Amino acid sequence: MSLLKSTALSVNLNKVALVRNTRPLGIPSVLFAAALCLDAGAHGITVHPRPDERHIRPQDVRDLAALLRKDWPKAEFNIEGNPFHNLMEFVRELRPHQATFVPDSETQSTSDHGWSFPEDAERLRPLIAETRALGVRVSLFMDPNPDMMAAAKAVGADRVELYTEGYAASRDTPKADAVLRLYVDAARAAHAAGLEVNAGHDLSRDNLTEFLRVVPAVREVSIGHAFVADSLELGYTAATREYLQRIAEAQ
């Protein structure tokens, strides 16, 4: 059972931008999607602006930052990406509530692994320090490896985001219980090290409640692909409420 009263829902809007970018018409609108989700109760917005601009573009990031400051000052803005590519320019300019450092390459279609320690420690440390000095919380995208959590804290992170594709892929297989236990152990190790825990990647309406019921004290889930797919069928407002209900069922 979670130690929290609730887990925050941050909606990732990358796939809305991906559809928009297929035609020069400006639709669907990333800003309108954000407004509908936040009006329906989402706690924050996540974007992952990659260098190739194949979905979220720099102006989207700036426009979303302005929208949240103006109309939803209590909503969290989470910008994720590789700090050795283009993430830091957004952190320095916009100072979002949270920066999620992700070790993806420029050619990856999506994130597929977390940081590794001690290999990544020294190059991450100064960027984490700079980001925190700007007043921005740092979350490190991490595989569910309990042995890595203390090292993530040692380089200065505030949170880890557990990479949950392994959990999603293992459901309905003989490995499901063992894989879920690994996430439980990783979350506990993170808490023991003084870190807070986020989670994201391939979480959906079908698997979210089970994950949050079992993995302790998840502060925030970031959900994009499944959320946007559901929104195509249900609409943004109904999809947001469905995900909030799945979170509530876990408590």
- The Cα angle at residue 159 between residues 99 and 91, in degrees rounded to 5: 15
Q: At what angle do helices 87-94 and 58-71 cross, to 10 degrees?
A: 30
Choice among 43, 48, 55, 220 that is catalytic: 48
Annotation says 48 is catalytic: yes
Q: How far apart are CA 69 and CA 40, in angstroms?
A: 18
Q: Count of CB atoms within 10 A of residue 217's CB?
A: 16
Annotation says 80 is catalytic: yes
Measured CA to CA in angstroms, residue 45 lies from 68, 82, 149, 205 at distances of 9, 18, 25, 18
Choice among 43, 76, 161, 201 that is catalytic: 201
Choice among 43, 55, 76, 80 that is catalytic: 80
Q: Which residues are catalytic?
A: 48, 80, 201
